[in-house]
């Protein structure tokens, strides 16, 4: 029997267009794999659409109509990055409707979306993070420059609002920019190291395994512009030694478990002379065929269409803990 998958894209945040690209790619891959696919989109004003058809003029009415589509789904595949999506909002909706869902649940989504909370979890399980502090947007006028720092919204994705500040003027601008995306702002020390990502996939049998590491090459900060203008280059597998590769994979698996992730997550590190330093965790990472996560799994011989199908397979079985493996 053909399984019916509802893919949800869009969202009410700065990552709306990125999410649309992810959702379209996932839907295409699922159809090529023989699944029956329905596509729901959350517009920027919070109203829902089914394909090109609006489901209502107000958010509440259109959501009620969207629930009728979700009711007929075997599995929901949420592809909404950022707040009101990746942060556990859609996971909560699926939990309330008792609908199997691809990816992490409410708790992991909420913790992973909040960079400050992620740091606290990482430090609790012995994974180093950059020294930093959390400030409220209302406090930024009184913050003085002391040293080079990276400024980022506590809860935002695709590097929106992330900036490097090397003087007082840059710091003021960076804080104002970050405050456009969140009222809580993270100020972190600059970490000197190679930017390395590792993806973790949880299979239907509960086994978790880490992909080969991917290295990001860019001139300066890996910000929103360099993520999407094609200037950044990726090497996968990254050119790291066996011990470094093992430490990256072990840290990625430990973070995946500590947050309680499911499905797939991308864990971003700086690789320093003293080992990995966690940057952040993405519980709904970019998932076009060209995105970092599919590139990492493709390096193991797992093509994009099979990766997406295996995420659906894992969502369709009861939650379980299992073995781990490093590729």
Q: 127-145: per-residue pLDDT in tens?
A: 999 999 999 999 888 899 9
Please name which of 16, 15, 49, 9 lies closest in space to residue 30, comparing C-alpha atoms: 9
324 or 293: which carries more pLDDT confidence?
Answer: 293
Q: Is residue 59 one of the residues assigned to a domain?
A: yes
Q: Is the same domain home to 18 and 116?
A: no
Q: How many residues does the chain have?
A: 327
Q: Is the same domain home to 166 and 280?
A: no
Query: Does residue 221 have a pLDDT over 80?
Result: no
Q: Is the same domain home to 122 and 257?
A: yes
Query: Does residue 157 have a pLDDT over 80?
Result: no
Query: What pLDDT score was predicted for residue 223?
Result: 54
Q: Which of 28-37, 61-70, 262-271, 310-319 has the lowest mean pLDDT?
A: 310-319
Query: What pLDDT score was predicted for residue 219?
Result: 72
CATH of the domain at 40: 3.40.50.20
Q: Is the same domain home to 83 and 118?
A: no
Q: Is residue 241 one of the residues assigned to a domain?
A: yes
Q: Is the same domain home to 223 and 236?
A: yes
**Structural domain span for residue 284:** 111-128+192-326
**pLDDT, tens digit (0-9, with 9 covering 90-100), for 23-42:** 999 999 999 999 999 999 99
Query: Does residue 243 have a pLDDT over 80?
Result: yes
Confidence of residue 320 (pLDDT cuts 50, 70, 90): very low
Q: Is the same domain home to 218 and 232?
A: yes
The model's pTM? 0.91
Q: Is residue 55 one of the residues assigned to a domain?
A: yes
Q: Is residue 96 one of the residues assigned to a domain?
A: yes
Domain count along the chain: 3
Mean pLDDT estimate for the chain: 92
Q: Is the same domain home to 200 and 295?
A: yes
CATH of the domain at 222: 3.30.470.20
Query: Does residue 146 have a pLDDT over 90?
Result: no
**pLDDT, tens digit (0-9, with 9 covering 90-100), for 281-306:** 999 999 999 999 999 999 999 999 99
Q: Is the same domain home to 123 and 225?
A: yes
Query: Does residue 91 have a pLDDT over 90?
Result: yes
Q: Is the same domain home to 218 and 239?
A: yes
Contact yes or no for 213/238 (Cβ under 8 A): yes
Over residues 164-174, mean pLDDT: 94
Query: Does residue 323 have a pLDDT over 90?
Result: no
Q: Is residue 54 one of the residues assigned to a domain?
A: yes
Q: Is residue 106 one of the residues assigned to a domain?
A: no
User: Residue 29 phi/psi, 5° resolution?
Assistant: -65, -40
Confidence of residue 316 (pLDDT cuts 50, 70, 90): confident
Query: What pLDDT score was predicted for residue 156?
Result: 79
C-alpha dist (Å) from residue 131 to 146, 165, 187, 199, 277:
14, 15, 9, 24, 10
Q: Is the same domain home to 116 and 255?
A: yes
Query: What pLDDT score was predicted for residue 324?
Result: 44
Query: What pLDDT score was predicted for residue 161?
Result: 86
Over residues 260-285, mean pLDDT: 96
Q: Is the same domain home to 180 and 223?
A: no
Phi-psi region of 11 (alpha: psi -120 to 50; beta: other; left: phi over 0): left
CA atoms 187, 188, 194, 200: torsion sign: negative
Query: What pLDDT score was predicted for residue 23?
Result: 97
Question: Of 189, 204, 234, which marks where a domain is finished?
Answer: 189
Question: Of 167, 189, 211, which marks where a domain is finished?
Answer: 189
Q: Is the same domain home to 197 and 281?
A: yes
C-alpha dihedral (77, 83, 88, 93), degrees to nearest 10? -70
DSSP state of 190: -
Q: Is residue 237 one of the residues assigned to a domain?
A: yes
Over residues 216-231, mean pLDDT: 64
């Amino acid at each position: 029997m053909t399984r019916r998958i509802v893919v949800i894209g869009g969202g009410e945040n700065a990552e709306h267009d990125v999410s649309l690209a992810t959702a379209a790619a996932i839907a295409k891959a699922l159809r090529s794999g023989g699944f029956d696919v329905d596509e729901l989109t959350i517009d920027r004003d919070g109203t829902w659409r089914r394909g090109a058809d609006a489901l209502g003029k107000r958010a509440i009415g259109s959501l009620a109509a969207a629930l009728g589509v979700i009711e007929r789904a075997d599995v929901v595949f949420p592809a909404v990055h950022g707040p009101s999506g990746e942060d556990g909002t859609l996971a909560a909706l699926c939990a309330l409707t008792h609908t199997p869902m691809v990816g992490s649940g409410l708790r992991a989504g909420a913790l992973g979306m909040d960079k400050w909370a992620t740091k606290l979890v990482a430090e609790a399980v012995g994974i180093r993070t950059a020294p930093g502090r959390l400030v409220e947007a209302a406090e930024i006028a009184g913050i003085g420059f002391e040293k080079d720092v990276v400024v980022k919204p506590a809860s935002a994705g695709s590097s929106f609002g992330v900036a490097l500040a090397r003087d007082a003027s840059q710091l003021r601008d960076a804080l104002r920019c970050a405050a456009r995306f969140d009222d809580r702002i993270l100020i972190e020390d600059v970490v000197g190291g190679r930017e390395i990502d590792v993806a973790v996939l949880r299979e239907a049998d509960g086994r978790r395994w880490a992909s080969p590491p991917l290295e990001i090459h860019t001139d300066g900060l890996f910000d929103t512009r360099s993520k999407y203008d094609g200037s950044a280059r990726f090497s996968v597998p990254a050119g790291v030694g066996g011990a470094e590769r093992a430490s990256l994979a072990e840290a990625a698996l430990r973070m995946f478990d500590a947050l309680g992730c499911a499905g797939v997550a991308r864990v971003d590190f700086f690789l320093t002379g003293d080992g990995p330093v966690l940057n952040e965790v993405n519980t709904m990472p970019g998932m076009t065929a060209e995105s970092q996560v599919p590139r990492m799994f493709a390096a193991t011989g797992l093509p994009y269409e099979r990766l997406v199908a295996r995420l659906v397979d894992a969502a369709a079985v009861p939650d379980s803990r299992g073995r781990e493996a490093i590729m």
